[in-house]
Amino acid sequence: MASQKKDKPEHKRDRLQQPLVMPGIHRYQFFSDISDRPLTKNLNRAAMLAIGTALAVDALKPLIGGVPQTLYCYECRACYGTQDRCPVGIGLQAELTVSARVADYERFLRAGGLKCVRCGNCRSFCVVNLDLPRIYSTMQQRTIAAMQRGAIRRQAIQHAYDDGLVGRQFIDRVAQWLEQESG
Ligand code: SF4
Ligand code: SF4
pLDDT digits over 82-134, tens only?
999 999 999 999 999 999 999 999 999 999 999 999 999 999 999 999 999 99
Contact 122, 84 (CB under 8 A): no
Q: In angstroms, what CA-CA distances link 138 with 1, 17, 165? A: 67, 59, 17
In tens, the pLDDT along 27-54 reads 766 666 666 666 676 788 889 999 999 9
Residue nearest to atom 3 of ligand 2 (CA): 73
Q: Is the CB of 127 under 6 A from ligand 2?
A: yes
Q: Which ligand is nearest to the CA of 75?
A: 2
Q: How far apart are CA 124 and CA 120, in angstroms?
A: 8
Residue nearest to atom 8 of ligand 1 (CA): 86
pTM (2 decimals)?
0.76
Q: Which ligand is nearest to the CA of 84?
A: 1
Percent of the chain at pLDDT > 90 equals 66
Test site for ligand 1: of 117, 125, 138, 168, most ligand atoms within 8 A of the Cβ: 117
Percent of the chain at pLDDT > 70 equals 84
